[in-house]
Amino acid sequence: MSNRSIFILLPDGVGLRNFAYSKFPEIAKAEGFDLTFWNNTPFDLTSLGLTEIKVENARPRPLTDILRRARSIIDLNRNIARSNDSVYEAYRQKLSSDGLKNKLKSFAVKQLSKRHDSEKGLETLRRKIKDSERKSAYYASCVETLKREKPAAVFCTNQRPLTAIAPILAAQDLGIPTIAFVFSWDNVPKATMVIEADFYFVWSDHMKQELLFYYPYIPAENIIVTGTPQFESHFDKSLLQTREAFFAEHRLDLSKKYICYSGDDITTSPNDPQYLADVAKAVRQLNEKGHNLGILFRRCPVDFSDRFDDVLQSNKDLIVPVAPEWKKLGSVWNTVLPMREDVALQANTIAHTEMVVNLGSSMVFDYVSHEKPCAFVNYDPTNNKRAGWSVKKIYNYVHFRSMPDKKAVVWLNSPEEIASKLESALTDKTQNVAHAHDWFGKINQHPPTEASRRIFNSLKTVIGCTSVS
């Protein structure tokens, strides 16, 4: 293969939207790259005209998972010690005690994390993870594939999956440069780093500084700011339907203006149905004043629960659900995968609604890409569905500290003020958008339309190099 043949490793479906469903392959061709998707998802990417090789025997060793879990605990311990900040306690994953197998596994994780809880111990654990995976049949299969195909580089679309360790190690052991893309704006502080690549492509200078802080062993010159392709579709006018066509397809009322309520998963926002009900009540109050508003409800793509049914039924004259085009292929969140059609559906949902309401999601950046405001729910309902849960915990997460100005969003601090806050935002959409642009510019390298090209320019530098400046 040519010296511009790149393997795009899809260890799970997270990277599909950014790198398979976007114009990324089209830009690759224009830039002179040959892309092969090393595909560990159930999707047949050849149906999209893409070249793929299916990942074979993607089974990490059980020991590797135990070591990885112990490493995550130690990473969080190191973060607390390094920053003297207890916020990292909130990122800990509870170890399972269901059944003998899980009890033994949890015991092993606890013992390893205690034994290696130091910088030197962490280094030892990182080495043990690699040594473990090199003994797997999965690693041997990856080596065979790479020897046969001889790509110039392996680009992993997600730094988190356990199934990415063996392919990255195999490439490194064969002298093939490896790159990891950090896929989400909130990932770095969470101690979710699983793979250790030669290079890291990140969203922004802010994210680069995070990597350097949390993973000081990574050389600064090997962290490259590219931005993310995640938002490029919002600037692609060819994806947009007319208002009439979109409203007809989803049975929306052309006489109304719609507010989007964007749902969260049940872990992040157990009270989401109550928040949706509160927004519906506020919209009714505005309609009584002469407005003509509706609510378009886009649920969280990984939430297939029935928890919204009662609210939707009692407000069916006001709320229209428009479900994301995602498909459930397993029992855990990362096996709920996007369809290509959802790229256009999300872009049109934003283009044809006035603003978005949610609890602290990155939809603020999707909407500001369309010059539209976002409101964050910021109160605990009286009938809290989960003891100990609070919006204060959510907004204390590290990634919200990147907000340069609190005016970047509309804060809905109580049910009683929702109507007036929404009315104000709808009357003057610019009052928060300018500040949201500042936040967006900090989170993602601008212009956001050039992320894919920046990735390929960086790949040109990486291929055949051991470092970049």
Residues 55-106: pLDDT tens digits? 988 999 999 999 999 999 999 999 999 999 999 999 998 888 888 999 999 9
Q: Are residues 319 and 453 in the same domain?
A: no
Residue 469 lies in a domain: no
How many C-beta atoms lie closer than 10 Å to residue 266's C-beta? 17
* Amino acid making up residue 407: K
Q: Are residues 120 and 186 in the same domain?
A: no
Q: Are residues 363 and 293 in the same domain?
A: yes
Q: Are residues 359 and 421 in the same domain?
A: yes
pLDDT the model gives residue 241: 98
Mean pLDDT of the chain: 94
pLDDT the model gives residue 332: 57
* Of the listed ranges 47-61, 164-178, 208-222, 322-336, the one predicted with least confidence: 322-336
Residue 465 pLDDT level (bands cut at 50, 70, 90)? very low
pLDDT the model gives residue 379: 97
Residue 426 lies in a domain: yes
pLDDT the model gives residue 331: 60
Domain C-terminal end among 132, 166, 184: 132
Q: What total number of domains does the chain contain? A: 3
Q: DSSP for 371-413, please give it.
A: T--EEEE----TT-SSTT--HHHHHTSGGGGG-S-GGGSEEE-
Residue 2 pLDDT level (bands cut at 50, 70, 90)? low
Q: Are residues 12 and 116 in the same domain?
A: no
Residue 293 lies in a domain: yes
Q: Are residues 320 and 384 in the same domain?
A: yes
Residue 13, pLDDT above cutoff 80: yes
Q: Are residues 439 and 452 in the same domain?
A: no
- Model pTM score: 0.94
The two structure tokens encoding residue 347: 């872009």
Residue 401 lies in a domain: yes
For residue 117, what are the domain limits? 62-132
Domain C-terminal end among 117, 132, 147: 132
Q: Are residues 23 and 50 in the same domain?
A: yes
Question: Which candidate, 160, 158, 24, places its Cα nearest to that of 451?
Answer: 24
How far is Cα 404 from Cα 420, in angstroms, rounded to an integer?
Answer: 25
Q: Are residues 372 and 316 in the same domain?
A: yes
Residue 469, pLDDT above cutoff 50: no
* CATH number of the domain where residue 16 is located: 3.40.50.2000
Q: Are residues 433 and 300 in the same domain?
A: yes
User: DSSP label at 221?
Assistant: G
Q: Are residues 36 and 80 in the same domain?
A: no
Residue 285 pLDDT level (bands cut at 50, 70, 90)? very high
Q: Are residues 102 and 150 in the same domain?
A: no
Residue 466, pLDDT above cutoff 50: no
The two structure tokens encoding residue 400: 């919200």
Residue 468 lies in a domain: no
Residue 372 lies in a domain: yes
